[in-house]
Each structure stands twice: as structure tokens, then as C-alpha cells.
Amino acid sequence: MPHKNTSDQILETARDLLASEGLAAVSFDAIARRLGCTKQAVLYWYPSKHDLLAAMFLPWLEAEAETAIQSVSGTTRRDEAVEAFVRAIAGFHFEDLDRFRMMYLLPQTIKQSVKASHDAALLDKIHPVTDRMYGALADRLDSDAKGVRQEALAIHSAVLGLLLMFGLADSVRDPLKHNASEMVSALIASLRST
């Protein structure tokens, strides 16, 4: 593998595996097989699943944030911004539930001892991204109210919770009684100002 692009090739292969075969297919062995190299060559660049996940996570988070920021950029009223944000975030993740699982569920399953040495550096990159995303929504909420950034975080969390339920239903092949579009609309209605 050429030295210059090896890291990018590994990430691209991991993303391809995720998209084509799902989360369970993303392994160092599978990546090595696809690239025609040894597992050790992959481990050289990403010594742990946490390292690989972190390298995949940040570009996804940046794409999610950019989607959210763009969605509210043309809005002027609170309810309009909330609706645009919820629809954009839901659409971004419904497009790829395996990516959602890797972003928001898999990190919760990695043991603390494995994560500890990497967390500070990763958080230093994550915080500015989430701050931009929450700030863009908060700017369109009631500017006189205290806690608009917390409200923006709560709105994002509500969308992620809805996605969690659809991801769970999808993974056990037990469809919910209401479709995604109906539930996104119901969430938006519940978040409207009085």
C-alpha cells in the first residue's frame, strides 16, 4: 500500500464495508482482506477499534453539523428553525442507520480503559463542531431566553432518540406502527412553541 494514502484507503474501505455489509462487517481482518494487505498493516495506522472509529466519526459529525447549519441558515422564526433542524438531522441519519449506530451507539460500548488515552484529543476536535451546530440552532431560537444552547442540545437529543427507536426496530426487524415521516412530524409538533 502506498504510504501517502494508506490511512485514507483504510477509512474508505471501512466506510464501504459499513455501507455494503453493515456494522458487524467492519473489522481489521475484513479491511485488510479488501485492501490486500495484512491485518498488522491496518493496525499500524489504527491500533484499536477506538482509533478507527474516531477517525471515521469526526468527518461524519462534521457532515451532520454542516447539514444542520445549512438547514437553519434561511430560517427566521423559532418553529421554522426547529422543523428544518429536526428534518435535516433525521434525514441525514435515516439515510444510513449503520453510520448512526457507529456514531452514537458504538462509542458507548468501548471500555473506558481503551478510550481514556484518546478521549481528550478527540473531544478537542468534537467540541467546536457541536458548538457550531448547536449555536446555529440556538441563534434562531428565542434570543431573549436563557438556556437556548441547552434547548438546541435537547432538540438534537430528541431527534437522536427517535432515530434510536427506528434503529432498534430495524435491527430486530420489527417495524414500528408509525413510519419515519409520521414520527418526525410528531416530534416537530411536540417541539413547537405554544
Per-residue pLDDT tens over the stretch 22-53: 778 889 999 999 999 999 999 999 998 878 88
Please determine whether the domains at 1-47 and 48-191 fall in the same fold group of CATH.
Answer: no
All structural domains of the chain with their residue ranges = 1-47, 48-191
Handedness of CA 86, 89, 95, 97 (dihedral sign): negative
Fold of 1-47: Arc Repressor Mutant, subunit A (1.10.10)
- With 0-12 CB in 10 A as exposed, 13-18 as middle and 19+ as buried, what is 85? buried
Angle between helices 180-191 and 78-94 (to 10 degrees): 150
pLDDT at 4: 53
Which stretch, 5-19, 55-69, 138-152, has highest mean pLDDT?
A: 55-69
Per-residue pLDDT tens over the stretch 151-166: 999 999 999 999 999 9
Q: What's the CATH code, domain 48-191?
A: 1.10.357.10
Angle between helices 49-73 and 6-21 (to 10 degrees): 80
